[in-house]
Amino acid sequence: MSSSLSAEHERHLVQVARDARLRAHAPYSHFAVGAALMDEQGRVHAGANIENAAYPQGLCAEAAALAHLVVAGGKRVVAAVVVGEGQQPVTPCGGCRQKLREFAGDELPVIVADGRAVRLRTSLGELLPHSFGPDHLGKRISR
């Protein structure tokens, strides 16, 4: 189950992620991804993938957006949108699911879109079931 995200917020987040995707630095894969995250204060943080000539040093769009959220003082992710083009919906990679888990629980709505439409509405709990998180280390996180 995910918590609810209004249609208006969803539209806004999708637009921010589409705009961010246009700024991706993906000269190696040519696979541009954009992300938009809403924090607990309702602020929206964008990210795009940033590839590197030393391939493993590349950064995913979600990680770039998380960096913006943290530096802006955000503490929680309350909604996540990922935008990419492909036959299948461009869902967050495994590493990014875990990165999101640091700032959100099972209920986090995760929306996957492309340039035309929303392709998938899911939740972090569906994408990363039985996850390991801060609570396993005795860290209390506000939900």
Contact between 89 and ligand THU by CB under 6 A: the answer reads: no
Q: Does 20 bind ligand THU (CB under 6 A)?
A: no
Choice among 51, 62, 85, 107 that is catalytic: 62
The alpha carbon dihedral of 54, 81, 121, 85 has a sign of negative
CA–CA separation, 103 and 97 (whole Å):
10
CA angle 32, 17, 3 (to 5 degrees): 125
41 binds ligand THU (CB under 6 A): no
Q: Name which position in 16, 20, 44, 61 contacts ligand THU (CB under 6 A).
A: 61
What one-character DSSP code corresponds to residue 45?
E
Nearer to ligand THU (CB atom), residue 50 or residue 141: 50
Spatial contact of 32 and 65, defined as CB atoms under 8 Å apart: no
Q: Does the active-site annotation cover 102? A: no
Q: Which residues bind ligand THU (CB under 6 A)?
A: 26, 29, 31, 33, 49, 51, 58, 60-62, 92-93, 96
